[in-house]
Amino acid sequence: MSISYAERIPNNVNLTDNRVLQRALEHWQPRFLGWWRDMGPTDFNGADVYLRTATSVDAQGWATYGSVKMPDYRWGIFLADRYPERKIGFGDFRGQPAWEQVPGEHRSTLRRLIVTQGDTEPASVEQQRLLGHTCPSLYDLRSLFQVNVEEGRHLWAMVYLLHAYFGRDGREEAEALLERHSGNRDNPRILNTFNEPVEDWLSFFCFTYFTDRDGKYQLKCLAESGFDPLARTCRFMLTEEAYHMSVGMLGLGRVVKRTADVMKEIGSEKPEAVRRSGAIDLPTLQRYLNFWFTSSLDLFGSEVSSNAATTFANGIKGRPDEMTAFEDHDIRDASFNLDSPKGREDVPMRNALNEVVREAYIRDCEVGLRLWNRILAKSGSKSEIRLPSPRFNRTVGVWAGQPVDPAGAVLSAEDWARQKQAWLPSDTDRAFVKSLMKRVVDPGKVAGWIAPPERGIGGHPPDYEYVRL
Ligand code: BYC
Ligand code: FE
Ligand code: FE
State the CATH number of the domain containing residue 345: 1.10.620.20
CA 234 to chain centre: 13
pLDDT at res. 61: 83
Residue 6 inside a domain? The answer is no
> Which residue, 224, 375, 243, 233, is CA-closest to 311?
224
Neighbours of 460 (CB within 10 A): 15
* Atom of ligand 1 lying closest to residue 306 CA: 2
Residue 7 inside a domain? The answer is no
pLDDT at res. 5: 55
Neighbours of 181 (CB within 10 A): 19
Extract long-range pairs of 96-102: CB within 8 Å, 24+ residues apart: 96/226, 96/315, 98/226, 98/227, 98/228, 98/231, 99/226, 99/227, 99/228, 100/228, 100/229, 101/165, 102/165, 102/166, 102/227
Q: What is the DSSP letter of 166?
A: S
Helix, strand or coil for residue 66? Answer: strand
Residue 386 inside a domain? The answer is yes
> Which residue, 245, 280, 285, 296, is CA-closest to 386?
285
Residue 97 inside a domain? The answer is yes
Residue 5 inside a domain? The answer is no
Percent of the chain with pLDDT over 70: 99
Q: Which helix (H) or strand (E) holds 421?
A: helix 413-423
Nearest residue by C-alpha to atom 39 in ligand 1 = 117
* Atom of ligand 1 lying closest to residue 193 CA: 36
Neighbours of 275 (CB within 10 A): 19
Range of the domain at 83: 15-468
> How far apart are the CA of 354 and the centre of ligand 1, in A?
10
Q: How far apart are CA 414 and CA 106, in angstroms?
A: 46
Q: How far apart are CA 454 and CA 463, in angstroms?
A: 10
- Calculate helix-pair angle for 228-266, 282-298, nearest 10 degrees: 170
- Burial tier of 104 (Cβ tally within 10 Å: 0-12, 13-18, 19+): exposed
Neighbours of 61 (CB within 10 A): 8
Neighbours of 341 (CB within 10 A): 12
pLDDT at res. 264: 98
> How does pLDDT run along the chain (469 residues), one tens digit per residue?
455 655 788 999 999 999 999 999 999 999 999 999 999 998 999 999 999 999 888 888 889 999 999 999 999 999 999 999 999 999 999 999 999 999 999 999 999 999 999 999 999 999 999 999 999 999 999 999 999 999 999 999 999 999 999 999 999 999 999 999 999 999 999 999 999 999 999 999 999 999 999 999 999 999 999 999 999 999 999 999 999 999 999 999 999 999 999 999 999 999 999 999 999 999 999 999 999 999 999 999 999 999 999 999 999 999 999 999 999 999 999 999 999 999 999 999 999 999 999 999 999 999 999 999 999 999 999 999 999 999 999 999 999 999 999 999 999 999 999 999 899 999 999 999 999 999 999 999 999 999 999 999 999 999 999 999 9
Report the DSSP beta bridge partners of residue 346.
Answer: 337
> How far apart are the CA of 238 and the centre of ligand 2, in A?
8
pLDDT at res. 55: 87
Nearest residue by C-alpha to atom 45 in ligand 1 = 307
Hey, CA dihedral for 331, 304, 307, 300, is it positive or negative? negative
Q: Are 450 and 251 in contact (CB under 8 A)?
A: yes
For residue 389, CA distances in Å to 289, 297, 394, 422 come to: 12, 10, 10, 15
Exposure class string for 6-19: b at 16+ Cβ within 10 A, else e: eeebbbbbebeeee
* Atom of ligand 1 lying closest to residue 357 CA: 55
For residue 21, CA distances in Å to 168, 322, 363 come to: 11, 32, 41
Residue 1 inside a domain? The answer is no
Alpha carbons within 13 angstroms on the beta-carbon side of residue 108 total 3
> Which residue, 282, 257, 286, is CA-closest to 272?
282
Q: Are 147 and 244 in contact (CB under 8 A)?
A: yes
Helix, strand or coil for residue 153? Answer: helix
> What strand order describes the sheet that includes 467-468?
63-69, 48-54, 467-468
Which of 205, 302, 304, 353 for a ligand 1 pocket mutation test, highest count of atoms within 8 Å of Cβ?
302
pLDDT by residue (tens digit) across 336-354?
Answer: 999 999 999 999 999 999 9
Q: Are 264 and 279 in contact (CB under 8 A)?
A: no
Helix, strand or coil for residue 336? Answer: strand
> Which residue, 110, 195, 226, 211, is CA-closest to 151?
211
Neighbours of 160 (CB within 10 A): 28
> Which residue, 391, 370, 373, is CA-closest to 383?
373
Q: How far apart are CA 288 and CA 299, in angstroms?
A: 17
Nearest residue by C-alpha to atom 40 in ligand 1 = 301
Count: domains in the chain: 1
Residue 9 inside a domain? The answer is no
> How far apart are the CA of 285 and the centre of ligand 2, in A?
25
> Which residue, 59, 194, 208, is CA-closest to 117?
194
Q: How far apart are CA 214 and CA 205, in angstroms?
A: 14
> How far apart are the CA of 154 and the centre of ligand 2, in A?
5
Q: How far apart are CA 170 and CA 159, in angstroms?
A: 8
Residue 8 inside a domain? The answer is no
CB atoms within 5 A of ion ligand 3 belong to 212, 215, 244
